[in-house]
Structure 1
Amino acid sequence: MFYFALFINIFSFILFGIDKRKAIKHQRRISEFTLLLITFLGGTVGALLGMVFFRHKISKRNFLIKFGFIVLIQAAFIYLYRKYS
């Protein structure tokens, strides 16, 4: 489980960096759906670090709302898992 979490977070961080570079070069971008899906699948820390480090998607209110919703869902899953296991 540790290696999966490490991999998905590194992958998420790299995806945010690639998308930022593509945005600067006016190239075809990685979809928000893909970025949010990787975040949902466990790449939250990597996504957050990528957003801060690359200064990417931090001014997009709609994206931040979706990102926050994903974090809340993950927090609820963790809480329920710990409570009932």
Structure 2
Amino acid sequence: MDVRMIAILILLLWNIIVFVFYAVDKYKASHHLWRIPEKVLLTQAILAGGIGAILAGRLVHHKTRKWYFWAAWIVGLIVDIVLIYFILKG
């Protein structure tokens, strides 16, 4: 396995982790439990977790009404696309 494949797998794993964080926060919100801070979710999305965050928003319907989450998701998606481009170009 070459370095590019490892980098893509790390990016995939990170987006799965971000998805899980959003899904867990949705579960906690539904059950009135302690929540994951919004700044954690926003930071994760911006730091190359845009794909996982958008998927979680769409699939578990979490944080879709707040404009600043959509903005963070789009920025994160752009970061993901740029990283994938440079990894594959490498």
- The reply to whether TM is greater than 0.5 is yes
Offset, 1:23? 0.3
Matched, 1:45 2:51: yes
Spell out structure 1 runs of 4+ moving beyond 4 A: 69-72
Q: Which residue of 2 aligns with 1:6?
A: 12
Provide the TM-score with structure 1 as the length reference. Answer: 0.76
Identity %: 30
Unaligned runs of 5+ residues in structure 1 are none
Counterpart CA distance in 1 for 2:8 and 2:76 is: 20
Unaligned runs of 5+ residues in structure 2 are 1-6
Provide the TM-score with structure 2 as the length reference. Answer: 0.72
CA RMSD of superposed structures (Å) = 2.4
Q: Which residue of 2 aligns with 1:21?
A: 27
Q: Give the direction of change, closer, same or farther, for the CA distance of 1:65–1:3 in structure 2 (3 Å limit).
A: closer
